[in-house]
Amino acid sequence: MFGPGPKADGPWTDPNVAYVISKKGPIPIRPQEDRASWRDIGPLMLLRESEYQAEGSKKAFNCPAIVQQFTELKQNRTLPENTPLVVTAYGIRTDKKMKIFEWLGDRLDLPKRIATQRNLRVQVQRALDLAEYVNATLRAAISRSYPRNGQGVKNPLGTLKDLSSNAYWEAIHRKFKIEFIETGLLNQDLNDGNAPGKLDQDWKRILLKEGGETLELSLKDLDSNAKELERAEKARGFFQGVTRKKFFSPKDITELRRKKRGNKTGIVSSGDPRSKQQSTTSLPHT
């Protein structure tokens, strides 16, 4: 006769799974609709519980134990020095019951220097958090272009917001890999204590430019009457006001306004009709 085996005490964590650490304990990170895996590169490849918490959040992250082991093997020189960190992330998006919506599989890679240096890992996650903030503000701004700011409507302009987010993330992905990682982070002077702050400010300006241009593409058809123009201007004002307050000090804002008056690129994006250069990019249509 066979009976049940011994019962394990305490929670078990899968060494191949990334976790969100909250008050309820470790919770596996699950795939989300329309969310590319690279946006979670911090939890999937970099972060340890004690290293990082997003601003205003009590949640932390733990990348898979096998990824942490890779870093340890690099540090004790068991692996060759030039071995890059390459991860293939698999997942299933379900209704958390029996229904399967899609299978996912993505190859993610990072230079070894980022994987093994805590300060660089933290900078990567902060950059992604800032990008997420701009995306959320972009979607909220589009909602404000709907009559009554979308009040009373479950998801005002939902399709337009999804298309805009997709266009924004496509642009940000390229900028993140080339301008933030390759040009910025990997060329950062480790002896310059101001270097992380400089890169942070440069990244914020990239995010505002891409977010502003995407917003303009979303609002381009709101020009048939005075009320539509008013709502479009309200959406622009909301986006710029919220992101300025989040990203810049009052002194920074004053300086950016001065540069704008000097006919230089300030906070107003190149896609804004108030600037001289117009974006020619268009959103995809369904």
Q: Kindly report, residue by residue over 146-195, the tens digit of the pLDDT.
A: 987 667 777 888 999 999 999 999 999 999 999 999 999 999 998 899 99
Q: Which residue has the higher pLDDT, 282 or 186?
A: 186
CA dihedral 238, 242, 243, 249 (to 10 degrees): 130
Distance, C-alpha 168 to centroid of its chain: 10
104-129 burial: b if 16+ Cβ within 10 Å, else e: eebeeebebebbbeeebbbbbbbbbe
Domain boundaries, the chain: 15-114, 117-286
Task: Give the number of other CB atoms < 10 A from CB of residue 182.
Answer: 12
Q: In Å, what is the CA distance from 138 to each residue of 185, 212, 263, 284?
A: 26, 8, 25, 17
Dihedrals phi, psi of 221, to nearest 5 degrees: -90, 0
Question: 233-271, pLDDT tens digit by residue?
Answer: 999 999 999 999 999 888 877 777 777 677 544 444 444
Cβ neighbour number for residue 164 with a 10 Å cutoff? 23
**What's the pLDDT tens digit per position in 37-77?**
999 999 999 999 888 887 778 889 999 999 999 888 887 88
Measure the CA–CA gap between 219 and 137, rounded to whole angstroms: 15
* Alpha-helix runs per DSSP H in 144-178: 158-175
Residue 144 region, left (φ>0) first, then alpha (ψ -120 to 50), else beta? alpha
What is residue 155's predicted lDDT score, i.e. its pLDDT? 81
Tell the burial category of 41 from Cβ atoms under 10 Å away from its Cβ (0-12, 13-18, 19+): buried
* Residue closest to 108 by CA, chosen among 89, 90, 123, 125: 89
Distances (CA, A) of 264 to 32, 250, 255, 280: 39, 19, 11, 20
Q: Is the pLDDT higher at 215 or at 49?
A: 215
Cα torsion angle, 173, 178, 184, 185, sign: positive
Measure the CA–CA gap between 144 and 137, rounded to whole angstroms.
11
For residues 32 and 273, give the distance between their C-alpha atoms in angstroms, rounded to a whole number: 34
Q: What is the pTM of this model?
A: 0.81
Where does residue 235 rank: exposed (0-12), middle (13-18), buried (19+ CB within 10 A)?
buried
Class for the domain spanning 117-286: mainly alpha
pLDDT in tens, 105-156: 999 998 888 988 899 999 999 999 999 999 999 999 999 999 876 677 778 8
- Which of helix, strand or coil describes residue 114? helix
The residue assigned the tokens 């060759």 is 80
